[in-house]
Amino acid sequence: MIAIKTVDYLLLEINSHLNFPKNEISVKDKRILLSLSKQVSQGNFLTENQANLLLKIFKENINFITSLDPDAENIIKSERWSREFRVIEKIRKIFLRHDDETKIAIQFTYDKRLKTKLADLSKKINGAITTVGSKEYHIAFTEKNIFAVVAEFFKDQFDIDEKILIFYQEIKEIAKTNKDYYNVFSLKDEKFKKLVEANVGSITLDNLLKLHDRKIRYGYNVHEKIHEISLINAIAQRKKSKIFINSQTTSFDDIIGCLQKLDRLPLLVIFDGHDAKSDRKSLEIIENSVNSGFVDNSIGIYFRYDKEADGDMFNKAISSLKYNRQLDPTTSIAGISNNKIPKFMIKSGWKPQTIISFTNNFRNNKSSTYFSDVDLIIFYGLKQPIHGNVDAFM
């Protein structure tokens, strides 16, 4: 008895011919066929969408496929498969985390369109979006964020937590009145008001600077402006959590002075991690601030270079300066490499009030994800980062 060939068998059959330098198939189609072939050969069968894509590519390249198997046209027309199509579980949920109700969780299986909408959402919310695994994303649980999330995904068949939907409807009704219910000086929610007072201080004009500084973190509005031009006023009245400060025009000491007045220590410093010479200069900037009395020496720098890569004696400088103290709640400045966050830092629960990055590459990595809830991130250098959501004002 002759075994009937299936379309997926045909895919595996032509696989070895796809890398030949001379064939009629396009680079894009070749790449897709190689990917599908690898997937099937590893025991991970096709989904229905992948199968339809495979048939489409075969039909568009029928001359090439037939040159490899004369019976290819009949096999493709038969649309026979060796197995049932793989069904991907479709997850679409928006809910409050049971273990942390300060976070809204958005959960969905991969979908290019939803990923694009999530990227658009990042421009409309307070704070950043934190990625948790491959399917879940967290944002701060604030009124503005509730409204933005539900409005963005409401028509995409998400299972939305009833509590979040109730909040959303209430916010919609409030929005119709054109009243600013989140004006910090006229807060009606006593629970929220007490939270602000406990963490920011008195809700009075005497405390206007700090009220401005914390508005991104807590999601309230402050309409009263501070008109005097100064570095501290600019930092406090920033519109985004990420800002750029030019190292040629503003000293590190001045920034540290502002952070102290705003109660924004401890500080996390991000080093390049790949350039010992550059990192040695960044270390000197911190050293100069310590020598000037702007910060104490409760400093820990938690990465090192391999011997052969440390021609600028970065490791030795840390030892000489005694910037190798163990991380604890009294650490005023902690320094890490951009490309790696130490496990002990995560386990300790230590979190900074401010981040200063000496590199513009502090984004889309584990460190930036873990610290994405920090509401003041300063990029300090000569050139403004080219990636978005960074205000340049100094």
The tens digit of pLDDT for each residue in 116-127 reads 899 888 878 877
CB 128 within 8 A of CB 373: yes
Confidence (pLDDT) at 211: 97
pTM for this structure? 0.64
For residue 393, the model assigns a pLDDT of: 62
Q: What is the pLDDT along the chain (394 residues), one digit of tens a residue?
A: 346 789 999 999 988 888 776 667 888 998 999 999 999 999 899 999 999 999 999 999 999 899 889 999 999 999 999 999 988 778 999 999 877 778 899 999 888 899 889 988 887 887 778 888 788 999 888 888 999 999 999 999 999 999 999 999 988 887 777 677 789 999 988 988 999 999 999 999 999 999 999 999 988 999 999 999 999 999 999 998 999 999 999 999 999 999 999 999 999 999 999 999 999 999 999 999 988 877 777 999 999 999 888 877 999 999 999 999 999 999 999 999 998 999 999 889 899 999 999 999 998 788 888 888 899 999 999 999 887 678 766 5
Domain coordinates in residue numbering, the chain: 7-78, 92-176, 182-225, 231-392
C-alpha distance from residue 75 to each of 46, 65, 69 (Å): 17, 11, 10
Residue found by looking up tokens 């049932």 in the block: 84
Which residue is associated with the tokens 């190292």? 247
* pLDDT for position 1: 39
Closest listed residue to residue 45, CA positions, set 54, 58, 36, 57: 36
Residue-level pLDDT at 318: 94
Place of tokens 């809910």: 95
Q: Which of 339, 353, 194 is nearest to 274 (CA)?
A: 339
Phi then psi for residue 108, to 5 deg, are: -160, 150
Tokens of 107: 């959960």
Beta-ladder partners of 270: 336, 357
Report how far residue 317's alpha carbon sits from residue 283's, in angstroms, rounded to the nearest whole number.
Answer: 8
Phi-psi region of 50 (alpha: psi -120 to 50; beta: other; left: phi over 0): alpha
Q: What is residue 309's predicted lDDT score, i.e. its pLDDT?
A: 82
Q: From the CA atom positions of the chain, what is the Rg in Å?
A: 28
Tokens 């189609």 map to which residue? 29
Reduced 3-state DSSP string for the chain:
CCCCCCHHHHHHHHHHHCCCCCCCCCHHHHHHHHHHHHHHHCCCCCCHHHHHHHHHHHHHCHHHHHHHCCCHHHHHHHCCCCCCCCCCCCCEEEEECCCCCCEEEEEECCCHHHHHHHHHHCCCCCCCCEEECCCEEEEECCHHHHHHHHHHHHHHCCEECHHHHHHHHHHHHHHHCCCCCCEHHHCCCHHHHHHHHHHHCCCCHHHHHHHHHCHHHHCCECCCCCCCCCHHHHHHCCCCCEEEEECCCCCHHHHHHHHHHCCCCCEEEEECCCCHHHHHHHHHHHHHHHHCCCCCCCEEECCCCCHHHCCCCHHHHHHHHCCECCCCCCCCEEEEECCCCCHHHHHHCCCCCEEEECCCCCCCCHHHHHCCCCCCEEEEECCCCCCCCCEECC
Question: Looking at domain 231-392, which CATH architecture does it have?
Answer: 3-Layer(aba) Sandwich (3.40)
| 145 phi/psi in degrees, rounded to 5 | -70, -40
The Cα 250–Cα 247 span in angstroms is 5
